[in-house]
C-alpha cells in the first residue's frame, strides 16, 4: 500500500506531537510544511527532516504532490485553510475545535461536500486507552441500562504556559476542553436532546471561562453531567486524566485516578488498570493525551485510504460543536436548550 504524502500547516506547540503520531503510525510522510513565521517552519523542518518549507500555503498546495493536508493552527484560521485545501481538491485533517462558530463550521462542511473532499477532525480524547476500555464495559451490557453518568476533567494545570494565546480567548474552556469532554460524552453514552450549562471565570488573568458544568439529557433518557475546570486544586494534580462514572440498573463503573476502572455489580467489584502506552516523543505531562494521537491518526489514515470509516469526521464533530456552542447559549440565557428545535 503506497505511502500517503501530506503537508502540515502550522508549527505551533501541538504540531511536533501530531507529526510524531503520524510517524508512529507509518504509512504517511510529511513532505512539506508552512507556518506564517517562516523561521519557525524552517526549524520544524530541520528537526523532523521535512524536505520543503513554504512561505505561502497556496503555493505549497499547488506545487507539492499531496494526498492530504494536516491543519494544526489556531481555531480562527481553520476555515480559510480548509477552504483553500478543498478548492485544491485535497482531503483535510483539521485540529479541534473545528471552527469558532457553528455557522463557520457548517460552511466549511458544505464546501468540502461540494468539492467532494473528506474533512476529518483530530479529536483524540475518545481514543485514550482507558476511555476506549470504559466504552467496552458499557457496550458489554454488564451495567444494564445507564440512567446517569458523569464525565469530569478538573485540575489546575498551568495550560497557559505552553499555550499563552488561550488567555486571550473570549470563549475558553468549552471550546478548548469542552469539545473533548462533550465528544467523550457522546462517544460513551449517545446523542443529546437537551442541555443546561453554567460557567464561571476564576482566574482573573484570562478573558474567557475556566469552569463549566453541563447537564446533558440524552435521547436514551440518560442524564450525563460534564464537569470541566482549570481552577480545581486537588491533593494530587491529575492533569490530563479524564474521570468517568456511570450508573446502570445492574451496577456501576468508574474510571478513576491512575487509569483504574472499577466495575461493581451484585457479584462484587472487579478492578483493572488500563494505562496508556508510552512513547519517547510524548511529553510525560500530557502522556494519556499524546498516546491517544496514535490510534486516532491510525483511524484517520484508514479513512483517508478508503479502507475503513473514520470516526471523527467533520459531520460527526459538528454534533459536538452544537453542544459546545449550545452550552454558551444556555449559560447566557440561563435556560435549558432543546437541540431538536
Final residue of a domain: which of 121, 147, 163?
121
Structural domain includes residue 194: yes
pLDDT at 340 (0 to 100): 81
**Pair 108, 131 in one domain:** no
Cell of 310: 473514520
- For Cα atoms 99, 101, 105, give the angle at the middle one, nearest 5 degrees: 50
pLDDT at 205 (0 to 100): 95
- The per-residue pLDDT for range 192-247, each reduced to its tens digit, is 999 999 999 999 999 999 999 999 999 999 999 999 999 999 999 999 999 999 99
Structural domain includes residue 296: no
Say if residue 139 is exposed, middle or buried (CB neighbours under 10 Å; 0-12, 13-18, 19+).
exposed
pLDDT higher than threshold 80 for residue 144: yes
State pTM to two decimals.
0.96
Dihedral, CA atoms, 46, 48, 54, 58, nearest 10 degrees? -170
Structural domain includes residue 301: no
Percent share of the chain, pLDDT over 70: 100
| Beta bridge partners of residue 244, listed in sequence order | 151, 255
**Pair 40, 100 in one domain:** yes
Structural domain includes residue 90: yes
Final residue of a domain: which of 104, 121, 138?
121
**Pair 230, 250 in one domain:** yes
pLDDT higher than threshold 80 for residue 136: yes
Residues 254/244, Cβ–Cβ less than 8 Å: yes
**Pair 229, 267 in one domain:** yes
pLDDT higher than threshold 90 for residue 138: yes
1: confidence class by pLDDT, cuts 50, 70, 90: confident
To the nearest 10 degrees (0 to 180), the angle between helices 314-333 and 178-189 is 110
**Pair 183, 88 in one domain:** no
E strand segments, the chain: 4-9, 28-34, 52-54, 68-71, 92-94, 119-121, 146-154, 192-200, 211-218, 223-229, 243-248, 251-255, 260-265, 268-273, 337-338
Structural domain includes residue 178: yes
What's the chain's average pLDDT?
97
- The per-residue pLDDT for range 76-104, each reduced to its tens digit, is 999 999 999 999 999 999 999 999 999 99
**Pair 216, 159 in one domain:** yes
Kindly report the CATH number assigned to the domain that includes residue 165: 3.30.360.10
pLDDT at 121 (0 to 100): 98
- CA dist., res. 274 & res. 261, Å (int): 7
Counting the structural domains of the chain, the total is 2
**Pair 113, 135 in one domain:** no
Strands 268-273 and 260-265: antiparallel
**Pair 199, 113 in one domain:** no
Structural domain includes residue 229: yes
pLDDT at 279 (0 to 100): 97
pLDDT at 232 (0 to 100): 97
At CB < 8 A and 24+ separation, what contacts does 299-308 make?
Answer: 299/127, 300/93, 300/120, 300/122, 301/4, 301/25, 301/27, 301/28, 303/118, 303/120, 304/4, 304/67, 304/68, 304/91, 304/93, 304/118, 304/120, 305/1, 305/4, 305/27
67: confidence class by pLDDT, cuts 50, 70, 90: very high
Structural domain includes residue 310: no
- For Cα atoms 219, 224, 227, give the angle at the middle one, nearest 5 degrees: 145
163: confidence class by pLDDT, cuts 50, 70, 90: confident
Structural domain includes residue 61: yes
Percent share of the chain, pLDDT over 90: 96
Final residue of a domain: which of 64, 87, 121?
121
pLDDT at 71 (0 to 100): 98
- For Cα atoms 290, 294, 296, give the angle at the middle one, nearest 5 degrees: 100
**Pair 139, 196 in one domain:** yes
pLDDT at 62 (0 to 100): 96
- The per-residue pLDDT for range 244-301, each reduced to its tens digit, is 999 999 999 999 999 999 999 999 999 999 999 999 999 998 999 999 999 999 999 9
Kindly report the CATH number assigned to the domain that includes residue 109: 3.40.50.720
Dihedral, CA atoms, 126, 132, 138, 142, nearest 10 degrees? -170
| Beta bridge partners of residue 54, listed in sequence order | 34
Cell of 10: 502550522
- Could you tell me the residue range of the domain that residue 274 belongs to? 126-281+318-338
| Beta bridge partners of residue 218, listed in sequence order | 192
Residues 322/101, Cβ–Cβ less than 8 Å: no
Q: What's the rounded mean pLDDT across residues 134-154? A: 98
Neighbours of 147 (CB within 10 A): 14
Q: What's the rounded mean pLDDT across residues 17-37? A: 97
**Pair 103, 31 in one domain:** yes
- The per-residue pLDDT for range 168-194, each reduced to its tens digit, is 999 999 999 999 999 999 999 999 999
Total residues belonging to the chain:
341
Closest CA to 220 of 190, 251, 198, 242: 190
**Pair 112, 182 in one domain:** no
Q: What is the CB-side half-sphere exposure of residue 158 using CA atoms within 13 A? A: 2
Cell of 248: 446502570
334: confidence class by pLDDT, cuts 50, 70, 90: very high
The string over 53-69, giving b where at least 16 C-beta atoms fall within 10 Å of a residue's C-beta and e elsewhere, is bbeebeebbeebebbbb
**Pair 77, 135 in one domain:** no
pLDDT higher than threshold 90 for residue 162: no
Closest CA to 275 of 144, 133, 152: 133
- CA dist., res. 61 & res. 325, Å (int): 32
Amino acid at each position: 500500500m503506497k505511502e500517503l504524502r501530506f503537508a502540515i500547516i502550522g508549527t505551533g506547540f501541538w504540531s511536533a506531537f501530531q507529526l510524531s503520531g503520524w510517524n508512529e503510525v507509518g504509512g504517511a510522510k510529511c513532505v512539506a510544511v508552512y507556518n506564517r513565521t517562516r523561521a519557525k517552519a524552517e526549524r520544524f523542518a530541520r528537526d523532523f527532516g521535512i524536505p520543503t518549507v513554504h512561505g505561502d500555503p497556496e503555493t505549497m498546495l499547488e506545487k507539492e504532490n499531496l494526498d492530504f493536508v494536516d491543519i494544526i493552527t489556531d481555531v480562527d484560521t481553520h476555515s480559510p485553510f480548509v477552504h483553500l485545501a478543498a478548492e485544491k481538491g485535497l482531503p483535510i485533517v483539521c485540529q479541534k475545535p473545528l471552527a469558532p462558530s457553528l455557522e463557520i463550521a457548517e460552511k466549511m462542511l458544505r464546501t468540502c461536500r461540494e468539492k467532494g473532499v473528506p474533512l476529518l477532525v483530530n479529536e483524540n480524547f475518545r481514543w485514550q486507552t482507558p476511555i476506549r476500555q470504559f466504552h467496552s464495559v458499557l457496550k458489554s451490557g454488564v451495567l444494564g441500562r445507564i440512567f446517569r453518568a458523569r464525565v469530569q476533567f478538573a485540575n489546575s494545570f498551568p495550560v497557559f504556559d505552553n499555550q499563552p494565546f488561550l488567555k486571550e480567548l473570549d470563549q475558553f474552556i468549552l471550546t478548548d476542553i469542552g469539545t473533548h469532554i462533550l465528544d467523550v460524552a457522546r462517544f460513551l453514552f449517545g446523542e443529546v436532546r437537551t442541555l443546561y450549562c453554567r460557567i464561571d471565570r476564576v482566574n482573573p488573568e484570562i478573558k474567557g471561562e475556566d469552569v463549566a458544568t453541563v447537564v446533558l439529557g440524552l435521547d436514551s433518557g440518560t442524564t450525563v453531567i460534564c464537569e470541566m475546570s482549570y481552577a480545581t486544586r486537588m491533593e494530587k494534580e491529575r492533569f490530563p486524566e479524564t474521570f468517568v462514572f456511570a450508573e446502570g440498573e445492574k451496577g456501576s463503573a468508574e474510571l478513576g485516578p491512575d487509569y483504574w476502572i472499577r466495575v461493581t455489580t451484585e457479584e462484587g467489584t472487579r478492578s483493572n488498570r488500563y494505562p496508556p502506552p508510552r512513547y519517547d516523543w510524548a511529553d510525560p505531562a500530557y502522556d494519556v493525551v499524546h498516546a491517544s494521537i496514535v490510534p486516532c491518526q491510525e483511524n484517520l489514515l484508514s479513512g483517508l485510504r478508503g479502507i475503513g470509516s473514520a470516526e471523527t469526521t467533520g459531520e460527526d464533530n459538528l454534533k459536538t460543536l452544537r453542544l459546545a456552542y449550545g452550552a454558551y447559549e444556555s449559560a447566557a440565557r440561563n435556560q435549558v436548550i432543546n437541540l431538536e428545535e
